Amino acid sequence: MRTVTVSLFHFLLFIIVAVCFSCSCCDGNSNVLCIESEREALLKLKNDLIDPSNKLSSWVEGGNCCKWNGVVCHNLTGHVDQLHLAAEPYEWLKLGGTINPSLLQLKHLTSLNLSYNNFSSIQIPDFFGLLVSLTYLDLSLAQFQGPIPHNLGNLSKLQYLDLRCDLSSWGMEAKSLEWVSRLSSLQYLDLSGVDLYKATDWLQVTFNLPSLLELHLFGCSLENQIPDYSGNMSFLEVVDLSLNSLNSTMPNSLFSLDHLQSLDLSNNIC
């Protein structure tokens, strides 16, 4: 009886190992097949993008989109999980054009990186606020213009938001920061270079961001005093408020943040 049990165990082990090798299920991402509707969505996206360096040449009809340049699928479900379409800082043939709302078909997208591209002909599309699975959104130095859509505040899973823009271009602005206060999962926020001159509510809004570790508001044209947010952002480690017009009235609590490692207030009125 015992030998039967042992050999049955070995038999099962053999089957598992054999299945693993034959379909390479242990190999993760590269072997999952993409989902057809998501492939079509990506092709529509490509259609509206200007791609001077042919970065998206692998994006063709009928292919396995999980193997396409910049596309990362979930290793078990095959859903598109991440889109890494960032340019490199030194690259001068950047992606541009417009962004097709077909992006919304990627319902499981957790990470979108378009940084260093050239979207100077458009604003951040309103529909980005519907990409509710996102945990990472990096649109830094991608030259988007105009107002930041406030419905980005609906991205409740967002942990990382980088909308930093080039100081010399004054590309983007926000007239309110109420939407930021709704991003309760945020750990990293960078709005450096975004014109916040008119976002006077930054003094009143309660930034209930208990997970926030880094706050970068370099060169945002902020005025008046530094508001007291410390109670609701008590885990802050890095704060950069340099190059604004903040005055010397400062909440004492700013200096009692237990986890603070770096505080940059240089180039202000104070």
Q: Which residues bind ligand NAG (CB under 6 A)?
A: 28, 75, 86, 94, 96, 113, 115-116, 118, 120-121, 129, 136, 138, 150-151, 153-154, 160, 179, 206, 208, 224-225, 231-232, 247-249
Cα–Cα dist 138/161, whole Å: 6
CB of 211 to ligand NAG, least distance (A): 13
- Which tokens belong to 95? 């992606």
Q: How far apart are CA 137 and CA 183, in angstroms?
A: 12
Task: For the CB of residue 18, give the shortest distance to ligand NAG in the complex, in Å.
Answer: 16
75 or 221: CB nearest ligand NAG:
75
Nearer CB in complex with ligand NAG: 130/263? 130
Identity of the residue, 40 or 147, whose beta carbon is nearer to ligand NAG in the bound complex: 147
Strands 136-138, 146-147: pairing kind: unpaired
Smallest distance from the beta carbon of 197 to ligand NAG, in angstroms? 14
Q: How many CA atoms lie within 13 A of 179 on its CB side?
A: 18
- The smaller minimum CB distance to ligand NAG, of residues 115 and 242, is found at 115
Question: Which CB sits closer to ligand NAG, 115 or 192?
Answer: 115
Minimum distance, C-beta of residue 5 to ligand NAG, in the bound complex (Å):
28
Q: Looking at beta carbons, which residue is closest to ligand NAG?
A: 231
Whichever of 9 and 231 has its CB closer to ligand NAG, that residue is: 231
What DSSP assignment string belongs to the chain?
A: -HHHHHHHHHHHHHHHHHHHHHHTGGGGGGGSPPPHHHHHHHHHHHHHEE-TT-TTTT--TTS-GGGSTTEEE-TTT--EEEEE-PPPTT--S--EE---GGGGG-TT--EEE-TT---TTSPPPGGGGG-TT-SEEE-TTS---EEPPGGGGG-TT--EEE----TTT--EE-S--TTGGG-TT-SEEE-TT-B-TT-GGGGTS----TT--EEE-TT---EEPPP--GGGSTT--EEE--SSEE-S---GGGGG-TT--EEE--SS--
| Residue 8 C-beta: closest distance to ligand NAG, Å | 25
Distance in Å, CB of 12 to ligand NAG, minimum: 19
- Closest separation in Å from C-beta 225 to ligand NAG: 4
- Report the residue number, 159 or 242, with the smaller CB distance to ligand NAG: 159
Cβ neighbours of 258 (radius 10 Å): 9
